């Protein structure tokens, strides 16, 4: 739906915002473009997804087995099982300084398996929603010292009337913050300078996954507002 975004004015000149306009944008996987089954066509309901094309970079995520599937009713990817994932063939996305990572997801349930991104070579490197849905954890090392836990309002599953959530983690000068929509976690900033790496898109478990956006900078307040508005309107 590129081109159907929100009309904005930047430095006095009108422009059309999409996530591709974000400062520091590195990767953008979106559910309305670039989702492919084995013959490279857009999948139909229940068909296996073998490639998800990066719309601003070249990290086209692929699956060799245990594929996620397409859900037509939600127009979303469905990672229905703990082992279903998409891999980045070039290896790790590595974020050593400032960054932003955003997802859009509707939860059918909430468990510790609800990981968004993982590193295949480092079991203690991932980002997830925790069981109960009142915390989001960015894990960077073994043991409690690697747990960056952010308190969030309770996630409401779709069966109880819950809709899509835009969730983002951002780091500026070693301070990591978590946002649900435009609202920052009450935890505030946590100090974490470890390099964040991932080479697999997990897309949560048994939920509906719409997008993964990665920038090598934190978002400005206006960018964060524009991003959430665009996601709510277009995905």
Q: Is the pLDDT of residue 198 over 60?
A: yes
* pLDDT score, position 65: 86
What's 204's domain CATH number? 2.60.120.200
Query: CA-based angle 191:124:93, to the nearest 5?
Result: 80
Region 60-64: mean pLDDT is 93
Per-residue pLDDT band at 81 (split at 50, 70, 90): confident
5 belongs to a structural domain: no
Region 211-228: mean pLDDT is 97
What are the backbone dihedrals phi and psi of residue 78, each rounded to the nearest 5 degrees, phi first? -125, 110
Per-residue pLDDT band at 185 (split at 50, 70, 90): very high
Q: Which pLDDT tens digit goes with each residue over 104-127? A: 999 999 999 999 999 999 999 999
140-156 burial code (b ≥16 CB/10 A, e <16): beeeeeebbbbebeebe
Q: Is the pLDDT of residue 13 over 80?
A: no
| Residue range of the domain that includes 212 | 18-234
* pLDDT score, position 2: 32
Region 72-86: mean pLDDT is 94
3 belongs to a structural domain: no
Q: Which pLDDT tens digit goes with each residue over 165-180? A: 999 999 999 999 999 9
Count each helix (H run) and each strand (E run) in the chain, helices first: 1, 22
230 belongs to a structural domain: yes
47 belongs to a structural domain: yes
Region 23-32: mean pLDDT is 97
Cα(50)–Cα(10) distance, rounded to whole angstroms?
A: 38
Region 130-159: mean pLDDT is 96
9 belongs to a structural domain: no
* pLDDT score, position 15: 60
* pLDDT score, position 39: 96
When divided into structural domains, the chain yields a total of 1
163 belongs to a structural domain: yes
Structure tokens given for 16: 């059309």
* pLDDT score, position 3: 33
* pLDDT score, position 84: 94
6 belongs to a structural domain: no
122 belongs to a structural domain: yes
> Whole-prediction pTM value?
0.93
Cα(51)–Cα(11) distance, rounded to whole angstroms?
A: 38
């Amino acid at each position: 739906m590129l081109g159907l975004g929100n009309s904005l004015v930047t430095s006095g000149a009108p422009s059309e915002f999409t996530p591709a306009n974000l400062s520091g944008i590195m990767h953008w996987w979106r559910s309305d473009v670039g989702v492919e089954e084995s013959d490279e066509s857009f999948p139909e309901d229940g068909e296996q997804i073998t490639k998800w094309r990066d719309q601003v970079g070249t990290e086209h995520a692929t699956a060799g087995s245990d594929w996620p599937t397409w859900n037509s009713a939600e127009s979303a990817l469905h990672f229905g099982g703990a082992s279903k994932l998409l891999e980045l063939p070039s290896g790790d996305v590595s974020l050593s300084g400032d960054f932003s990572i955003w997802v859009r997801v509707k939860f059918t349930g909430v468990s510790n398996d609800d990981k968004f991104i993982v590193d295949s070579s480092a079991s203690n490197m991932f980002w997830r929603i925790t069981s109960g849905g009142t915390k989001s954890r960015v894990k960077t090392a073994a043991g409690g010292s690697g747990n960056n836990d952010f308190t969030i309002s309770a996630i409401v599953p779709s069966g109880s009337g819950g809709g899509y959530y835009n969730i983002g983690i951002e780091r500026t000068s070693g301070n990591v913050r978590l946002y649900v929509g435009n609202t920052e976690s009450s935890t505030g900033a946590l100090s974490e300078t470890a390099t964040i790496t991932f080479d697999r898109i997990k897309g949560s478990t048994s939920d509906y996954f719409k997008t993964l956006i990665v920038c090598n900078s934190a978002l400005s307040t206006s960018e964060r507002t524009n991003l959430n508005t665009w996601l709510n309107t277009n995905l």
